[in-house]
Amino acid sequence: MFKKTSLTLLFSAAVISINAQQSIPFRITKHNNIIVKTLVNKKDSLHLMFQIAMEDASISPDRQRKADHIIFNKDEISEKNTVQIGKFTLNNVRFFDHELTGHEADGKIGTGMFAGKTFKIDYDNNRFEIYEKEPDLKGYQKMMLLYEKGQFFINADNIIDGDKQQEAYFLLQSGYSGALLYSNDFAEEKNLDKMLKVTSEKTFKNSSGESIITKQGILPFFKLNNFVLKDVPAGFFVGKRKTQTVNYFGADMMKRFNWIFDADRQTVYIKPSKHFSEGFYKVN
């Protein structure tokens, strides 16, 4: 779905430290996407969506604001850009061109701005926090984190039928507005088309005229560590043409927790945010 997300990280930060911590404000759209206001190369004011499933940055062909001062080469890559977010400055930022992004965004920015640092996604106060040392972990639960090619995976239990738990890994995907999206393999193996209560179905045609069918079902229970969510919307594909290779833990699920990622990217700490019990986002 998203290209070029695993290339070598080329971010470095030049910031003024206040109590060994930096704070970056963001806003959350009605589609659950995180948006940060940036100034790129001291010229282009862009709203970029935070994409936890990538490291670098990108510009969308559907952007609303001009990005005239990001110069791309023949491979649609732009090196050594500067990105300012308030008082926070990133140097040597790599941008990719023509990558789709979320609603209200001109492009994406990834986890490179937290390179080598412990960072927090604070949904209670709409801000990122970057730490030089371990922050206060009171009230948080520790989880193992799988970090692979610049992407984060977590393990969770899916209660599909009765009290039987089906374990699965999920890619943290803040660009997907919904709650859960299952891979083709998981959906087929667990027979989700019959096991879940289906609430909607849509059929699309690709450029070859092939039908792509997506369904939204309701997962009775979802367990992340000791936290349990009930009646969670879960998407999956059916039919001959399927393209989903991994399970997504989407933005609607992410916002229900505050997250602290260790600098080593092997551990994450979570606790419920103020959004934990809110109604779920309806995927169109």
For domain 12-131, which CATH number applies: 1.10.287.3510, 3.40.50.300, 3.30.430.20, 2.40.70.10?
A: 2.40.70.10
| CATH 2.40.70.10 domain position(s) in the chain | 12-131, 141-272
pTM here is: 0.90
10-residue mean pLDDT profile of the chain (284 residues): values are 39 39 93 97 97 97 95 96 92 96 96 95 97 92 96 97 89 97 95 94 74 92 97 90 89 98 97 98 86
Q: Which two tokens stand for residue 247?
A: 């399970």
CA–CA separation, 228 and 221 (whole Å): 7
- The CATH architecture one would assign to domain 141-272 is Beta Barrel (2.40)
Phi, psi of 155 (to 5 degrees): -105, 135
CA–CA separation, 128 and 139 (whole Å): 18
CA angle 261, 263, 268 (to 5 degrees): 25
CA–CA separation, 247 and 126 (whole Å): 26
CA–CA separation, 282 and 284 (whole Å): 6
CA–CA separation, 125 and 279 (whole Å): 19
pLDDT of residue 11: 42
Q: Which two tokens stand for residue 114?
A: 């937290």
**Cα torsion 255, 189, 164, 225: sign:** negative
